[in-house]
Chain A
Amino acid sequence: MEKIADISKTTAVKAKTTTSKGDRIFDIVNITLLSIVVLVCLIPFIHILAISLSSARPIMSGEVSLFPVEWTTEAYVKVFSDMSMIRSLGFTVMLTVIFTILCMAMTIAAGYPLSKSNLKGRGFFMVLIIITMFFSGGIIPEYILVRNLHLLDTMWALILPGLISPFYLIIMISFFRNIPESLEEAAEMDGSSHFYTLWRIILPLSLPVIATLSLFYAVGRWNGFMDTLMYINSPDLYPLQLKLYQLIQNNMASELMRNEVVGSAQMMPESLKAASVIFATIPILIVYPWLQRYFVSGVMLGAVKG
Chain B
Amino acid sequence: MSTYLRRYWQLYFLLILPIAYFLTFKYGPMYGIQIAFKDFNFFQGINDSEWIGWDAFREVFQNQDFYKTLRNTLMLNFLDLLVSFPAPLLLAIMLYEVKAVWFKKLSQTILYIPHFISWVIIGGIVYQVFGTQSGFVNNMWMALGFQPIPFLTDPNYWLVTYLLTGVWQSAGWGTILYLAALTGINKELYEAADMDGAGRLKRIWHITLPGLKTTIITLLIINLGNMVTIGFERPFVIGNVAVQDYSDVLSTFVYRIGLESGQYTLATVVGLFQAVVGLIFVLGANYASKKSTGEGIL
Q: Which residues of A contact B (CB under 8 A)?
A: 17, 22-23, 26-27, 30-31, 33-35, 37-38, 40-42, 44-45, 47-48, 51, 59-60, 62, 65, 106-107, 109-110, 112-114, 116, 119-120, 125, 128-130, 132, 134-145, 147-148, 160-161, 163-164, 193-195, 198, 219, 222-226, 230, 241-242, 244-245, 247-248, 251-252, 255-256, 258-259, 270, 273-274, 276-277, 280-281, 284-285, 288-289, 292, 296, 299-300, 303-304, 306
Contacts and interface: CB of A to CB of B under 8 A. Distances in A.
Given A37-B91, A256-B153, A110 B15 contact: yes
Given A65-B136, A144-B46, A300-B180, A274 B98 contact: no
B66 interface: no
A195 B10 contact: yes
A138 B254 contact: yes
Given A109-B14, A129-B22, A141 B29 contact: yes
B14 A41 contact: no
Nearest to B191: A17
A106 B21 CA distance: 9
Contact of B17 (A106, A225, A259, A273): A106
Interface stretch (B76-84, B127-135, B205-213): B127-135
B156 interface: no
B116 A219 contact: yes
Contacts, number: 277
Contacts of B97: 26-27, 30
Contact of A62 (B95, B142, B233): B142
Given A140-B271, A288-B116, A47 B29 contact: no
Contacts of A125: 15, 19
B177 A139 contact: no
Given A33-B94, A144-B32, A281-B121, 6 more contacts: A30-B98, A37-B107, A135-B279, A223-B118, A230-B259, A248-B123
B230 interface: no
26 contacts: A23-B199, A31-B103, A34-B107, A47-B129, A48-B128, A112-B14, A113-B11, A113-B12, A113-B15, A116-B11, A128-B22, A132-B22, A136-B275, A137-B28, A138-B274, A193-B10, A194-B10, A219-B116, A223-B117, A223-B118, A223-B121, A226-B236, A244-B120, A244-B121, A256-B240, A285-B113
